[in-house]
Amino acid sequence: MSTHSHPCANQHYDFIVVGAGSSGCALAGTLAANSKHSVLLIEAGSNNRSALVSMPKGIAKLVNKPAYTWVYQIDQKRTADTEQPEVWIRGKGLGGSSAINGMIWSRGQAADYDAWQQQGCTGWDWQTFNSALKAIEDHQLGPAANRGTGGQVTISPGPFRYPLVDDMLSAAQQQGLNLVDDLNDSHEERVGLYSHNTKRGRRVSAAKAFIDPIKHRKNLTIATHTFVRKVLFEGNKAVGVEVSIEDKTHAIYCNKEIILSAGALETPRLLQLSGIGPQRVLEYAGVNVVAHSPDVGRRMREHLAFAMSFRLNQDRIGNQHCFYGLGLAKHILQQQLFGTGALSFGPFEVGGFAKIGDAQWPNLQLYLSGYVFKLSDDNHPVPLSEIDKQPGLSLYGQLLDLQSESEIKIISPDPNIPAVIEPNWLSHPQDQQRAIQSLKYMRQLAQQPALSQHIDHEMVPGPLVQTDEEILEAFKRLATCGLHATGSCRMGGDEQSVLDPELKVRGVTGLRVADCSAMPGNISGNTNAPAMALGYRAAQIIQDHWAS
C-alpha cells in the first residue's frame, strides 16, 4: 500500500475511487480483492488512527475538530434571531462518517428498496440488497433471514445495561411496540436494543472493515490528504481527476473508470464542478457544461429529528454518572481492558420504530438514553456536547419519510468555495403534520407508567408548548438534521435521473457514482449500513461489467 503525500501524480490506475467513506471503502476494498485491478482510493482527510476514533463514545471529542469532520453551513433562515446558524457535519479521513458516527446498524425497510425497483432501478430490490447486506455482515447474534455472518463488518448487540434501560423497553411495549432481539429482523413497529458496528467494544469503521485487512496489497494505493478538485474529461469520456496535494495541483488518470463516493453532499458538488449538472447552475457558476443533468444536486432527502429532554427524580437510575470523575475512569478502563461499559457503544442504547399518521410502515425512529446534554443559552440541548451531571432522559425522534426536498448548488468554479445547501425543511404540508405527530407520540411514550414513575418534569420543549401551532414552532426552531442525506445524484429508469441502474452517470462515459447520493429515496433508518452495502453492490456490478 502507498500512503504518502505524492504517490500518484501523473500515474494511471484501472479504477479511481474518490472518497474513503462508508461506500468508498467497501467499494475500493472489494475491487482491490481482485489482484488484476489496480485501484486508487483518494481521501482528503487523514488515516484516522486516533484512539478516540476506535473508542465508540470518543465521537463527542471528534465532531468539532476540523481534522475529523467537514462542516457545512446551511442556507436556512432560522425562526428567531437568537438561533445559531444550522450546520451539517460529515466524517473526514479514512472511514468517512463511519469513523465519527453513532455506529447504529440499521438496514432500512424492505419497502425502501422495493420502491427503488419500482422507480426503474433494476437489480436494487430488497431481495438483492438484503443479499449485499448479509454478505458484509458478521453479526454476533448469528445468521437469520435478515442477518449475515462471516462478512467484514462485525455487528454487536448492546453490551451495557443500567436500571432505566429495562423501563424504557417496558414503556415502549406499553405504547404498543413489540420487543425484539434484533431491530433489523422485523419491519413492523418494534423496540429493542440497538446493534452497533463494534467489535469487543471498539468501532468497526468502513476503513477498519474493508481496507485494513488488504492494505498491503500491491494493487491498492491509498492517497490521503488529497483533495479532488474535479473530474477530467476528453470529450464526454472521464479520463482522470485533478487533485490538490500540499497546495500543488496534479492530474491522475484512469484506464477504466472513475467512481465518485464522496457522499451525498460532496458528490453532486464534484459533478457540478466537473461540468455535469443543471445547465443554469453551471452557467451561473462559470463552469463549462459537459452534460446537462437537471437533477444533480436536486431532489435530496434528509431526516429531521427532535430531541426531547426530561429531568429524572432519581440520581442513580440513569447513566450520566458514567461520564464524570471516578465513574468515567472506571468506564474508560472497562472499555480499554474488556470492551464493555458505557464507552463501548454509541450514544443511544434503546431504539424503536413506530408509525405515526397514516403511514403503512414505521416512519418515526426513536432513540433513548439515560442522560441529557447540557442546554444552550437559548434552552435547547446541544447534541454531543457536555453531558448534564443531573439525572435525565433523552428521547430523540427522527422523521423518516419527509417529502420536502433539498438542493445543493455550486456558485463558483473554485472548488474551495462551498456549495450552497438549501434544506427546505418542512416545506411540504405532510411534513409539518408529521412533526406535530412525532412530538405528541414521544410525549405519550414518556407518560407510560414504566417511564413516568421516574420523570420529574419535561425540560425540552417544556410544558408550555401544547397547541399544534406551538409544537410546530418549537420543532422548526429546535429540530436538527439527521445527517442521513440521500438522492442528490439519484439513480433511476427515467432519462432525467442522474444515474442509470448500473450507477453510470448519464451523458458521459467512464464515470459512476456509488454512495448515498445514488439512493433515489429515503432510507427508513440510519444510512451507514446501506451505504456500505451499496459500495459492495457497486463493486459487484463493476466487476461483472469488466469481466464480460
End-to-end CA distance of the chain: 28
Instruction: Please answer whether residues 2 and 243 qualify as being in contact, where contact means their C-beta atoms are separated by less than 8 angstroms.
Output: no
Q: Please, which residues bridge with residue 393 across strands?
A: 310
Does the annotation list 153 as a binding residue?
A: no
Amino acid at 474: A
Burial of 281: CB neighbours in 10 Å, binned 0-12, 13-18, 19+: buried
| Interatomic CA distance for residues 116 and 119, integer angstroms | 5
- DSSP state, 461? S
Neighbouring C-alpha atoms within 13 Å toward the C-beta of 164: 28
**What per-residue confidence (pLDDT) applies to 313?**
95
**What per-residue confidence (pLDDT) applies to 76?**
63
Residues 6+ apart with CB under 8 A from 26: 136, 152, 206, 209, 210, 531, 532, 533, 534, 535, 536, 539
Instruction: Please answer whether residues 168 and 368 qualify as being in contact, where contact means their C-beta atoms are separated by less than 8 angstroms.
Output: yes
| Interatomic CA distance for residues 3 and 211, integer angstroms | 12
| Interatomic CA distance for residues 332 and 341, integer angstroms | 8
Q: Please, which residues bridge with residue 507 across strands?
A: none
Is-same-fold flag (1-75+85-153+204-300+486-548; 159-193+304-401+426-478)? no
| Residues catalogued as catalytic | 484
What is the CATH number assigned to the segment(s) 159-193+304-401+426-478? Answer: 3.30.410.40
Beta 178-179 vs 190-193: how paired, if at all? parallel
Question: CA Rg, the chain, in Å?
Answer: 23
Give pLDDT tens digits along the chain (548 positions): 343 445 677 799 999 999 999 999 999 999 999 999 999 999 999 999 899 999 998 888 888 889 999 999 897 654 444 456 788 999 999 999 999 999 999 999 999 999 999 999 999 999 999 999 999 999 999 999 999 999 999 999 976 788 899 999 999 999 999 999 999 998 999 999 999 999 999 999 999 999 999 999 999 999 999 999 999 999 999 999 999 988 899 999 999 999 999 999 999 999 999 999 999 999 999 999 999 999 999 999 999 999 999 999 988 788 887 787 888 888 888 888 888 888 888 889 999 999 999 999 999 999 999 989 877 666 555 555 678 889 999 999 999 999 999 999 999 999 999 999 999 999 999 999 999 999 999 999 999 999 999 999 999 999 999 999 999 999 999 999 999 999 999 999 999 999 999 999 999 999 999 999 999 999 999 999 999 999 999 999 999 999 98
Domain segments of the chain as ranges: 1-75+85-153+204-300+486-548, 159-193+304-401+426-478
Which stretches within 175-265 are classed as H helix?
206
| Interatomic CA distance for residues 223 and 2, integer angstroms | 7
Q: CATH number for the 1-75+85-153+204-300+486-548 domain, one of 3.50.50.60, 1.10.220.10, 3.40.50.10860, 1.25.60.10?
A: 3.50.50.60
